[in-house]
Every structure is written in C-alpha cells, then in structure tokens.
C-alpha cells in the first residue's frame, strides 16, 4: 500500500525521537524520498529545517533494516484498518461504498463578520456549546516562528489544559473584556487555538482525550463561501462553525464515539462522504486532540468568529442514516394488497416453461456432463428461435462469454456443436 496514506494516521509529535527516525529509515528502505519524510515531519513543533536531510544521509542500510511494516503497525495502532479479501459464502453480505449525495455543484453561501463582535461572548458561546463545566479545555496562545519555504509561519506550542470550561467561563465573565487576562497574550499575526474535545488535564495528546465527542472538518483549497455551502448541504451535524480568520471555516462536527477505534472509523466515514461530494478536506485533522481556531481573537488583521451553532442533523447517527437513505438505490416498497386482484403482466418467455426474459438461470452439473455444449446449444436455439431440449426459445441476440477457450477454439467448438 501507499505508505504516505498510512502516515496520515500517525502524528509526528506523538512519536519519540527513535520512532521518528524509524519512520525515516522505513521510507528510505521502501524507495520513498527525503521530501516525503520532511513534509510529514513539518507537523511536529520540534521540526528543524534540514534535520531530515542530515539524518537521511546517515541511513546506509543494515542487516536488519526497518521496513514498511514498522509504519503499517504504527498506523494500525492508531486506528487504520484493512479490508481483507476472502471468498464469499452464500449468506455473506455485499456492502457497497456510499456517500455521494450530489452536492458537488452547490452554490456558495456567504457569511459576514458579526456587527457587534464581542470576544468574550464568542469564546463563552464556544465553551458552553462544546463542553460541560467540569471538563478540562486545551488552548494555545503562545507560538514560535518557523521558516516554511522562505515564509515565516507562526506555529502553536502545546499550550495549556489545566482549567475547566467552568473556570474559564467564570474568568471571562470577570475580565472586563480583556481575554488576555484569562488566556494570556497572543500574537495578532497568528491568532489563537483551542482543542474541541475535553482533556484529562494531564496533557494534550490523543491519550489525554476523555470523550471522543467532536471532529474537525476544514479545507484550505476551496472558496470560503463554497465550504460554507457544502457543509450545510451535506447536513453535517455541526456543533459550532467558526471562521478561522484565514482560508477556511472550521466545522466542529458531532461524532460521539464510544472509544478511539470507533472515532477513527466514524472519521473515515465522515471524510469519505465529504470527499465524494467535492469537499477536499485536510486529512491531518483526524486526531481527537487536534487544535482548531479559537473564536474571539484577531488573526493577521481578521477576526476569528462563530458563524453558526447547532446546524445540520442532530447527531452523527441521524446524519449517517440520512446519507445512506439518499443513495441506497433501492426501489420503493410495494404492498401486495395493491396488486392482488390485478397483478402486473408477466415478462414474455425466453425459454417456454423454463425462463422468462429478464430472469436469470444457472446451468449446473458435474464435470463432463455436457454443460458447455448444452449452453452453446441454447445460444444457437435463441439465435435462430428454435427448440432447446424440446423447449421453444424466443429468437434474440446472444452474448457468449467463455474465460477458458482461446478465440480459435471457441469458433471451432461453436461450428462443431451447431
């Protein structure tokens, strides 16, 4: 499989130094480039420009190389699953991938900055919508500079998680409008971030998440109005919709998973439906401890603010049922009582007394019983409108498929049987 797809499940800042090196060694062993490793590593706050290239040159092979299996296992430990092929039994279910509900060409929906923008109200509304008062909230206002292809970028630190939503709301209501007294100063060039799932107060990694309640949906490669429109057309169960102050809107979507494994499966389903409907989302947002943009702050001259709350379906289960009901491709149910006295006309026969047009028939028997010759005789009988084993056939065109014979043998056999 593509190891870069597996890396989407692995956050570099979740790994220790040796695990990070192992990823690089595995990528080189399997023929990937240093750029692949470097691009993935940039998501880590510990990233240093040029370090990947330096380490890469030191990977000169060994008797026991680190291989793709290392990355695959890391990804599996973080929720990646595989579909294993197997023979189907008679009672097995064949499930079709669904999700395209036809909103790819929807018209953009504009949104506007609130007329009376109040930072305290923005953040309090966000906290009250997403958290119980007793739950710890992670947030980040401190940043550090990174040089990304010649451009200075501000990246968030790990931030804080030592206060509950109730404590933060109480402090905000008593800060006289100065949110820096609550969260600390932030750089207006960078804005501020907040984690949308509750934490245990001991850290900000996935293992510190106490409830897999929400997921982040965003895209940096679509017009803002188009993002807003598709989110609404898809009826995503959005708790809070926030303008990031940049190129995207952040939809905090209700997931309500019982555990991490279910969270990743629901994320996969959510992202797949978005992708099928033209919403090219950022796949780096799969993690439950992910940061999102905090409303109520300034980012590079633009306000980060709440666009809407509690839109779309009420929860994930209702939304999923709705999606699957739209494109299940099943006919409407019919009541036998409506047709009992006047049933619909039967299809005309193809083989009198045996098979009607539009029906299917399987010809079975032991080896050398004459199945192949019998089938060729049926082809001849239908092509000429004659009898097959004494049963009259309706004349029609024939398509014969044989995956065993070569072309010349097939023609000869038809001539001989005829």
In order, the DSSP letters of 53-122 are HHHHHH----SS---HHHHHHHHHHTT-------PPPTT---PPP----S-TTPPP------TT--HHHH
pLDDT at residue 78, as a whole number: 85
pLDDT at residue 329, as a whole number: 67
> Looking at the structure, do residues 356 and 304 belong to the same domain, yes or no?
no
Please answer whether residues 258 and 279 qualify as being in contact, where contact means their C-beta atoms are separated by less than 8 angstroms: no
Residue ending a domain, among 265, 292, 326, is: 326
pLDDT at residue 174, as a whole number: 96
Q: Which helix (H) or strand (E) holds 339?
A: none
CA–CA separation, 134 vs 166, rounded Å?
6
Q: Phi/psi of residue 49, each to 5°?
A: -60, 130
Please check whether residue 112 lies inside any domain of the structure: no
Does the CA dihedral 23-26-32-33 come out positive or negative? positive
Please answer whether residues 253 and 216 qualify as being in contact, where contact means their C-beta atoms are separated by less than 8 angstroms: yes
CA–CA separation, 42 vs 261, rounded Å?
26
Domain that holds residue 69: 3-77
pLDDT at residue 192, as a whole number: 96
Residue ending a domain, among 292, 326, 360, is: 326
3-state secondary structure of 280: coil
Please check whether residue 99 lies inside any domain of the structure: no
CA–CA separation, 245 vs 218, rounded Å?
13
Please check whether residue 225 lies inside any domain of the structure: yes
Nearest to 71, CA basis, from 15, 120, 154, 149: 15
Tally the domains of the chain: 3
Nearest 5°: CA angle at 325, between 216 and 239?
25
Across the chain, which has 418 residues, the per-10-residue mean pLDDT values are 85 92 91 89 90 90 85 87 63 60 68 91 97 97 80 87 97 95 94 97 94 94 90 95 94 96 91 87 83 95 96 96 79 87 94 96 93 95 97 96 92 94
Please check whether residue 103 lies inside any domain of the structure: no
**Residue whose structure tokens are 């000169």:** 60
> Looking at the structure, do residues 318 and 356 belong to the same domain, yes or no?
no
pLDDT at residue 94, as a whole number: 57
CA–CA separation, 16 vs 30, rounded Å?
22
Please answer whether residues 173 and 118 qualify as being in contact, where contact means their C-beta atoms are separated by less than 8 angstroms: no
> Looking at the structure, do residues 203 and 290 belong to the same domain, yes or no?
yes
CA–CA separation, 179 vs 126, rounded Å?
14
Residue ending a domain, among 50, 77, 104, is: 77
> Looking at the structure, do residues 157 and 298 belong to the same domain, yes or no?
yes
Nearest 5°: CA angle at 177, between 176 and 183?
105
CB count in 10 Å sphere of residue 4? 13
3-state secondary structure of 254: strand
Label residues 209-231 b or e (16+ Cβ within 10 Å = b): bebbbbbbbbbeebebebbbbbb
- Token reading at 6: 């597996």
Please answer whether residues 3 and 23 qualify as being in contact, where contact means their C-beta atoms are separated by less than 8 angstroms: no
pLDDT at residue 134, as a whole number: 97
> Looking at the structure, do residues 284 and 160 belong to the same domain, yes or no?
yes
């Amino acid at each position: 499989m593509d190891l870069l797809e597996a890396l989407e499940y692995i956050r570099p800042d979740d790994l220790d130094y040796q695990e990070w090196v192992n990823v690089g060694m595995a990528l080189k062993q399997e023929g990937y480039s240093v750029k692949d490793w470097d691009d993935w590593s940039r998501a880590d706050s510990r990233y240093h420009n040029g370090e990947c290239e330096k380490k890469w040159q030191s990977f000169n092979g060994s008797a026991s190389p680190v291989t793709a299996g290392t990355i695959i296992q890391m990804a599996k430990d973080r929720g990646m699953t595989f579909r294993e092929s197997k023979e189907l039994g008679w009672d097995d279910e064949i499930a079709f991938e669904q999700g395209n509900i036809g909103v790819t060409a929807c018209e953009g929906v504009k949104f506007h900055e609130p007329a009376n923008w109040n930072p305290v109200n923005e953040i309090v509304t966000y906290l009250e919508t997403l958290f119980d008062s007793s739950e710890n909230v992670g947030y980040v206002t401190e940043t550090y500079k990174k040089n990304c292809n010649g451009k200075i970028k501000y990246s968030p630190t790990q931030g804080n998680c030592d206060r509950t939503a109730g404590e933060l709301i109480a402090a905000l209501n008593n800060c006289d409008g100065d949110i820096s007294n609550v969260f600390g100063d932030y750089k207006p060039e960078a804005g501020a971030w907040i984690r949308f799932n509750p934490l245990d107060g001991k850290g900000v990694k996935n293992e510190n998440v106490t409830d897999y309640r929400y997921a982040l949906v965003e895209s940096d490669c679509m017009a803002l109005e188009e993002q807003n429109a598709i989110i609404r057309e898809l009826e995503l169960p959005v708790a809070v919709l926030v303008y990031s102050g940049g190129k995207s809107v952040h939809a905090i979507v209700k997931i309500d998973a019982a555990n991490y494994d279910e969270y990743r499966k629901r994320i996969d389903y959510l992202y797949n439906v978005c992708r099928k409907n033209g919403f090219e989302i950022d796949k780096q947002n799969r993690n439950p401890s992910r940061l999102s943009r905090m409303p109520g702050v300034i980012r590079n001259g633009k306000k980060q603010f709440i666009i809407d709350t509690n839109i779309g379906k009420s929860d994930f289960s209702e939304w999923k049922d709705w999606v699957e009901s739209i494109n299940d491709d099943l006919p409407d149910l019919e009541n036998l009582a409506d047709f009992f006295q006047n049933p619909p006309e039967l299809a005309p026969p193809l083989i009198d007394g045996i098979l009607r047009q539009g029906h299917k028939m399987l010809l079975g028997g032991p080896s050398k019983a004459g199945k192949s010759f019998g089938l060729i005789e049926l082809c001849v009988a239908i092509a000429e409108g004659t009898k097959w084993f004494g049963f009259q056939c309706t004349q029609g065109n024939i398509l014969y498929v044989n995956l065993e014979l070569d072309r010349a043998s097939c023609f000869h056999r038809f001539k001989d049987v005829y």
